[in-house]
Amino acid sequence: MKTVAALSLASGIGCCSLAFADGALDATFGVDGVARAGIPDGDGAPSGCRPIVLADGRILICGTRLSNGVSGADFMVARFNVDGSLDPTFGDNGLTTIDFDQGTGGDHAEGIALQADGHIIVGGTTHGAGLQSDDFAVARLTADGVLDQSFATAGKATIAFDLANGVGNDDMSALTVESDGAIVLAGSAETMTGSVVAVARLLSDGSRDANFNATGKVTFGFALAGSEADHANAAAVDGQGRIVVAATATTNEQMETNEFAVARLLANGTLDTDFAGVGYVAIPFDPGTGISDARALGLALLGNGEIAISGYANSSPWATPNMDMAAARLRSDGSLDATFGNGGTLTIPFDIEQNGMDAAVDVLEQSDGRLLLVGTALGGGQQYGVAARLLGDGTFDSSFGTAGKATYNLGLTAPGTQAFTGVTMQGSRILVGGVAFIAPLGTPQPLDCVLVRLSNDVGDAIFAAAFD
């Protein structure tokens, strides 16, 4: 699963209300801007489940149910109407759950995508019978939320890399679908000394793509440390069919130092040497200590062919770390875009508490080229959804939030705690997916999967005509 250190959901007090136009909660959506899947057992771990907007404006999300009856942790898919109400025509009153592990409790959804014919692809990780037996897992649903029996085996497929003497935890964190319906999965494969990036490609029917490294799967490392501990957290396919992967690469496992890393693969699974000369590039975030501690979580392919990566990085040169939102922008050849931020990288502090943990879990390019980053920030022992919007050069867009940043308390509990995990557009407005504590407070604290719709100044007046 996608890893964000120290970002488990915690209880605490509420935060500030919003008093601005761009980025404000859209009260016409759901209840006061928030739509809920209506479950009490959501998973608080950040995931790659970016919302999907269908052609008619309805919305799909994925998530994980941790205690779904007797089957333990399972994938969950929900469909919402345009206004944020659950769509009762989908699955079981708006929800579908998928069990891979026959009730042992080890299924975690990490991504959702749509094939051109309307089939829904959802992927993640399933835990098998052994202690080291996590595998990639993917399922296909019909447009109505039913397992498609014509896909793989009864609608589901698993992929094992097993690089640690025939076993190993293989964890998927990213999913994307190509124009022909082929499915790309990315994450990590455990080795005897650490882990490497793992990528698999399936044909649209769930069978292995033999044209992709002959086996339908490939692994590689960034070779920045003696014992690699590399993990892909996001993936996308560009207009030339090349697979772009954003990952975290470990430079020193003992010191826990890491860098952003980006790789590009050709359609046959080989590294594209036109990208940075070797097919991959590492991006350090050094606050002046000579040491980088940065983790890449999100990825966006930009309209001009460039690549944006989001995550978090230590911005403190002192002994006490200060993890802030981080972003980098690469040109199509893998070089840093020096016109963005500070030579191609930047950090964004929220610091709700001193040296608080802030992370950009996802990044999106809006139609006008502005970059929107969403994620989470810790403060006072609790967790807030946060967003920032940048102009093309990495400076803050002052029309969004307060001087380019916004912090959200959704008000579902007192205290109220939530995290944003994915962002997309619904017409002109911004849709953010995530998880949030819900009432009543308890142990463990109930969590629901949520959708939040935010106002946006680009064509908001056209929104009603586009979807009503």
Mean pLDDT of residues grouped by 10 in the chain (468 residues)?
A: 46 37 91 96 86 97 88 93 98 96 86 97 87 90 98 97 92 96 97 94 97 97 75 97 96 75 97 97 93 95 98 93 97 98 97 93 97 94 93 96 94 83 95 93 85 79 41
What is the predicted pLDDT for the residue at 413? 84
What is the predicted pLDDT for the residue at 17? 38
What is the predicted pLDDT for the residue at 441? 76
What is the predicted pLDDT for the residue at 467? 41
Which domains does the chain show, CATH number per domain? 34-467 (2.130.10.10)
What is the predicted pLDDT for the residue at 129? 63
pTM over 0.75: yes
**Cα-based distances in Å from 7 to 10, 166, 312, 420:** 8, 32, 12, 12
What is the predicted pLDDT for the residue at 224? 65
